[in-house]
């Protein structure tokens, strides 16, 4: 991940080198060579995704890309976005990302949970299913409203299993349990959220150079206080991605550029608004 970018662009290479120095180990080597099981450990995966995205962003700046009218980032990507928008320094952004991964892993080990993807049910139906499946012994909630027909739920394993069965009864096209025990964006991340809030409060935050659409509220973040509140809430609240993109569409945005590994967000955008202009930047020659 990111090797071609590192090899061909000095600006991107400087980002990886700075991250290696700050973290005290060769994250760049892990990104480029693995091993895969070490890279996909959330403690490493979150910084790897952050640094690769920021390397691409730095390359864009040196090529003269203008700032967009708005920015948005999905889950972890919200921290990348806030850094790109100037609300966080690269050093502080990386530190928060690393802490986020460590805290989420610890919370997942302390209170293991589960996540599942549900296809072809609308969001009101999935929310109702989560409410029905939750009880005093465990809860499940919407973690990611990615696009029409694709919702991810998260929470206690028993409650999630009940929700999966209810989704199948409701004629979901597909219900897939994800191979993880970290129940991201759920109440099981409460202990991580408390510690992460302390880290956020200790971090300098500036007003962003452009509005950043919040995961939790799908509204623009324009002040340091709004950003702090968002980051504190994000670990236990769902990502309202469909609402976020609809906010942008309602405010005249018609071109969406995805920065970072993969094109998942553009695939969501295709489901949200097929007529939107979608631009994918790669690590290669068209960056």
The residues assigned a catalytic role are 75, 185
Q: What is the DSSP string of 153-187?
A: EEE-HHHHHHHHHHHHHTT-SEEEE-S-S--TTSG
Sign of the four-CA dihedral 164, 165, 167, 168: positive
Sign of the four-CA dihedral 260, 261, 265, 267: positive
Two tokens at 254? 């018609």
Q: Are 233 and 93 in contact (CB under 8 A)?
A: no
Distance from C-alpha of 220 to C-alpha of 200, rounded to nearest angstrom:
19
């Amino acid at each position: 991940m990111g090797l071609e970018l590192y090899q061909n662009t000095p600006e991107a290479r400087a980002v990886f080198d700075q991250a290696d120095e700050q973290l005290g180990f060769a994250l760049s080597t892990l990104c480029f060579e693995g091993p895969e099981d070490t890279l996909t450990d959330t403690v490493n995966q979150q910084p790897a995704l952050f640094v690769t995205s920021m390397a691409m962003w730095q390359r864009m700046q040196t090529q003269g890309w203008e700032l967009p009218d708005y920015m948005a980032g999905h889950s972890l990507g919200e921290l990348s976005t806030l850094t790109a928008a100037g609300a966080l320094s690269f050093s502080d952004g990386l530190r928060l990302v690393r802490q986020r991964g460590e805290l989420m892993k610890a919370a997942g080990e302390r209170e293991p949970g589960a996540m599942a993807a549900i296809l072809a049910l609308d969001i009101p139906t999935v929310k109702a299913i989560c409410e029905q499946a939750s009880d005093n012994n465990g809860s499940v909630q919407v973690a990611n409203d990615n696009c029409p027909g694709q919702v991810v739920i998260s929470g206690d394993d028993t409650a999630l299993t009940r929700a999966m069965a209810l989704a199948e009864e409701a004629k979901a096209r597909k219900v897939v349990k994800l191979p993880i025990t970290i129940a991201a964006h759920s109440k099981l991340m409460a202990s991580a959220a408390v510690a992460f809030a302390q880290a956020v409060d200790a971090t300098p935050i500036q007003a962003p150079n452009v509005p950043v659409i919040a995961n939790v509220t799908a509204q623009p973040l324009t002040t340091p206080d709004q950003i702090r509140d968002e980051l504190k809430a994000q670990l236990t609240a769902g990502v309202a991605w469909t609402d976020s993109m609809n906010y942008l569409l309602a405010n005249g945005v018609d071109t969406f550029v995805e920065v970072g590994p993969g094109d998942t967000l553009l695939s969501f955008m295709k489901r949200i608004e097929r007529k939107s202009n979608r631009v994918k930047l790669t690590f290669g020659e068209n960056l």
